[in-house]
Amino acid sequence: MIGMTELAAEKVEKMMQEHEIPAQSDYGVRIGVKSGGCSGLNYVLDIVDGPDKKDRVFEHHGVKVYCDPRSYLYLNGTEIDYDDSGLSGGFAFNNPNAKRSCGCGTSFAV
């Protein structure tokens, strides 16, 4: 399962409103990983108009979360949060599978 805090869901909803995305649609957040970063894998978070055929689908606080099967191997158990402190604020990923993370929290290794 991939979770999302209430604060993160509020930020996603605000972003969707700013881009005039209808609330009652299949729009949601796709979380994934790609190679790169100082620890080996980068988190990817995008607003998308619906799931891909093989995506895992979750919903938290009214926000749909999509994840492809490959990324899910690395992200199972992750909770998406939002840090609104200072310059380093933004979406944060609390990933129990990460053995190490970079200082900025955008990449990790398993």
Banded pLDDT at 108 (limits 50, 70, 90) = low
Burial of 81 (C-beta count, 10 Å sphere; 0-12/13-18/19+): middle
10-35 residue pLDDT tens: 999 999 999 888 767 789 999 999 88
C-alpha 92/C-alpha 81 separation (Å) is: 5
Smallest Cα–Cα separation from 74: which of 99, 104, 37?
99
**64, two tokens:** 């749909």
Domain count, the chain: 1
Percent of the chain with pLDDT over 90: 57
Sign of the Cα torsion 20, 27, 68, 91 reads positive
45-93 residue pLDDT tens: 999 999 999 999 999 999 999 999 999 999 999 999 998 876 667 898 9
pLDDT of res. 43: 87
Domain that holds residue 97: 3-109
C-alpha 67/C-alpha 55 separation (Å) is: 5
Question: Residue 48: which CATH number?
Answer: 2.60.300.12
